[in-house]
Structure formats: structure tokens, C-alpha cells
Amino acid sequence: MLHALECHNLSKAFLDVPVVRQVELTARAGDILALLGPSGCGKTTTLRLIAGFEWPDSGTITINGREVASDATRVAAEQRRVGMVFQEYALFPHLNVADNIGFGLKLPGRDQRARIQIMLALAGLEGLARRMPYELSGGQQQRVALARALAPQPEILLLDEPFSNLDAALRMQVRGEVRGILKQSGITCVFVTHDQEEALSLADSVAVMFDGRIAQIAPPEQLYHQPASRAVAAFVGEANFLPGQADGATAHTSLGVLPLARPAYGRVEVLIRPEDLLLEPDDANANAAVIWREFYGHDQRIGVRLPDGLSLVARLETHQFFTEGQPVTARLRVPALSFPYLS
Ligand SMILES: Nc1ncnc2c1ncn2[C@@H]1O[C@H](COP(=O)(O)OP(=O)(O)OP(=O)(O)O)[C@@H](O)[C@H]1O
Ligand SMILES: [Mg+2]
């Protein structure tokens, strides 16, 4: 399948400080790719390289088979057919919704109106065409910004922290709407976020970036269940790490002998996702004790301490009640992944 976007060996330094390092990034046509990483890891810089606002020091960028940046090629930003939505939306405050959407279009009058109409419909903004930006909710402003970026029919859409202006409740709703709009338009999209839940729920594929490098690129399920490193496992979702001694199929830990999903040998750290840990009230054969609990309604987090003093977090459904100090049996319900122990 054709990759709509390919970044190969992409590097960029500012004042001799490397910010983007040998980045390999691909997105299939029509896919939503999330670029996920902590603040300052180089996400925005990577987007700006793709958009053409910065030139890479080395490496190549190819969009739908056309090389746009390399040692030999320099295609300017306005020639790349890349749309970008910035964090603050940057709507023109003195233009109404329709004029904001039409701003970058240079079509003959009737075509221009028709295209704006299509974008209003796509973004669910019919009826709001004459509203001014200040008369819109945050979610509506977000959709106008999206419609404006999609109106010139770019080949790739780049979104930098598109939901960070919205409060938590609205964010979840708008996320779903935006995914719907992007999928309906069929555009290839790269969006930047430091919110792992956002990346997992919205993207077809997630690239995790640490310190300028891509640590792993994978579909959300694979990223979460088969993280390539301890660092990825810890950054994406909540993780317990239990020291152990692996002998191939199992690891000996203070939680007992745990089956491993992949063979390992020697000193390891076993990854235990909180939702994979089961707790049963048990006075006779307890191997742990509850030390704290947090109730969330849809689930609860329970902290338990093992006899050797190590503590683990479990995430459980809420029909089971626990009290602090209660003896429990903690048990893993799936084979675990392990990572080599790095002292
Ligand atoms: N024009 C520039 N000149 C010098 N340093 C820069 C420039 N742009 C970015 N940097 C530095 O490069 C590093 C990466 O910045 P970047 O904006 O790409 O990070 P980010 O991953 O988008 O972070 P955040 O999540 O906080 O937005 C930072 O240390 C930043 O200070
Ligand atoms: Mg940024």
C-alpha cells in the first residue's frame, strides 16, 4: 500500500542541539497517525518539518510519492499541499464561519460557495455559517479550524495538540467528532499530542517519541500490549514493574512464578498492567494487603503491598469492595511481558 507520508532518517538541530534525531515515520493513505511524546521531545518540530516551515539538516520527506525535502529537493511549504491546524485554532476574529472556511480558497465565486457549503456540512456547521468566532463554543471553533484546513483539499493534514484548548468533557466528545470528519474526508492526518489516551483512542497508528527519536510506531492495541521497551510501557498507560528472574517461559517474582508472553532469561522486570491484576479477598492464603483505594465509578484503583514491601496498583470493576489493610490474593490473569533489567 502506498504511504501518504514517509519521513526517512530525518534530523534537525537548533544551535547544535539535536531536537529531531533520525526519525522514521510513515502513514498509510487515509490513516490517522498520532505523534505522542512528553513536552519538548520534538513533536512540533517534526510537524513543522513535514509542513515545510523548517528544513531538515538531513533525511528525506516524501508525500504521496513526491519527495518534498531532501539534500537535493526543497519544496516550499505552500507547494506541499499540506494543511495545518494549530493549537489555538487561529480563526480570523473579524470573519464569520463561512469566510473563515473560504479564506484560503481562490475558486471562482460559485465554486467557492459550493466548496464552503460542502465543508460546513462535513464539519456539522450548517446553520452557523454567519456566526462570528466569538459566538461559537470551543468545540465549534475546533470544527471551523478543521473545515478551513480541509477546504483546499490538502493531501495531508497536520494537527498540533488540537484538543488542548477544550475542557475534559468536551474533549472526549470533540475527539469523536473530529475522527468522524477526518475519516469521512479520507485525508491522511498526523496529529501531535502528549495525551496518551487521546493518541490511543483517536489514531490508527501511534508513534511514540522520546528525546527526538521514535521509540515505537504501532497500532494502539499493539503499542499498549506489546510495548517495545520499558520506557514505552511506562509512558503509554499505567504500568507496574516487578523485578524477577526469568528462566524462559516463566519469571520468579514476589508475586509467585508468572508465565511470560515471550521467553526471557536472567534478571528482568515484569510488566503488569493494573487491569491485568486480579484481587480476591483471602484470609488464609493472602499474598498481599490492600494499602489504599481510589473509587472512580466506572472502575477503582487499589494499591496492594506484597510481603517483601513492593507495592502494585490494580484496576478493578467496582462491585467488589475492599478496605485498607484487607488481606487479598493478587493474581495475574494473562501471561506477562518482561524487559531486561537495567541497573
Ligand atoms: N526555533 C527554535 N530554536 C531553538 N530551539 C527550538 C526551536 N524550536 C524548538 N526548539 C527546542 O526544541 C525542542 C523541541 O521542541 P518542540 O516544540 O518540537 O517540542 P514538543 O515536543 O512540541 O513540546 P510540547 O509538547 O511542549 O509542545 C525544545 O527543547 C525546544 O526548546
Ligand atoms: Mg509542541
Supply the DSSP string of 103-120, one letter for each residue.
Answer: TT----HHHHHHHHHHHH
With bands split at pLDDT 50, 70 and 90, how would you rate the model's confidence at 172? confident
Whether 236 contacts 197, CB under 8 Å = no
* Å from CA of 99 to ligand 1 middle: 32
Nearest CA to ligand 1 atom 28: 40
Residue 219: CA atoms inside 13 Å, Cβ hemisphere, count? 5
Instruction: Identify the residue whose C-alpha is closest to ligand 1 atom 6.
Output: 14
Task: Tally the domains of the chain.
Answer: 2
Which residue has the CA at smallest separation from atom 22 of ligand 1? Answer: 44
Judge if the beta carbon of residue 41 lies within 6 A of ligand 1: yes
Same domain, residue pair 310 and 266: yes
CA 37 / ligand 2 centre spacing (Å): 10
Domain range enclosing 328: 241-340
Cell of 215: 521509540
Of the pLDDT bands very low, low, confident and very high (cuts 50, 70, 90), residue 18 is: very high
Determine the average pLDDT of the residues in 178-189.
Answer: 90
Give the closest residue (by CA) to ligand 1 atom 8: 45
Together in a domain, 184 and 50: yes
Radius of gyration of the chain, Cα coordinates, nearest whole angstrom: 24
Please tell me the number of the ligand nearest to residue 17's CA.
1
119-156 per-position pLDDT tens digit: 898 888 989 999 999 999 888 888 899 899 989 889 99
What separation, in Å, do the N-terminal and C-terminal C-alpha atoms of the chain show? 42
- Greatest mean pLDDT among 83-92, 138-147, 152-161 lies in 152-161
DSSP annotation of 162 reads T
Q: Report the CATH number at residue 291.
A: 2.40.50.140
Helix, strand or coil, per DSSP, at residue 55: coil
pTM of the predicted protein model: 0.91
In terms of domains, do 221 and 268 share one?
Answer: no
Residues 235-251: pLDDT tens digits? 999 999 999 999 999 99
Give me the residue label for grid cell 474526508.
185
- Domain termination site, one of 215, 235, 255: 235
Of 235, 253, 286, the residue that ends a domain is: 235
Instruction: Determine what percent of the chain is predicted with pLDDT higher than 70.
Output: 99
If asked whether residues 296 and 227 sit together in one domain, one would say no
Instruction: Among 14, 161, 164, name the best residue to mutate to test ligand 1's pocket (greatest count of ligand atoms within 8 A of Cβ).
Output: 14
Q: How many angstroms separate the alpha carbon of residue 43 from the centre of ligand 1? A: 8
Distance 106 CA to ligand 2 centre (A): 30
pLDDT band at 167 (very low <50, low <70, confident <90, very high): confident
pLDDT of residue 1: 62
pLDDT of residue 213: 98
My answer on whether 293 and 226 are in the same domain is no
pLDDT of residue 138: 82
* DSSP assignment letter at 170: H
Please give the number of the atom of ligand 1 that sits closest to the Cα of 38.
25
Closest protein CA for atom 30 of ligand 1: 40
**Sign of the torsion angle spanned by Cα atoms 34, 36, 39, 40:** negative
Which of 235, 257, 283 is the last residue before a domain boundary? 235
Q: What is the pLDDT averaged over residues 59-85?
A: 94
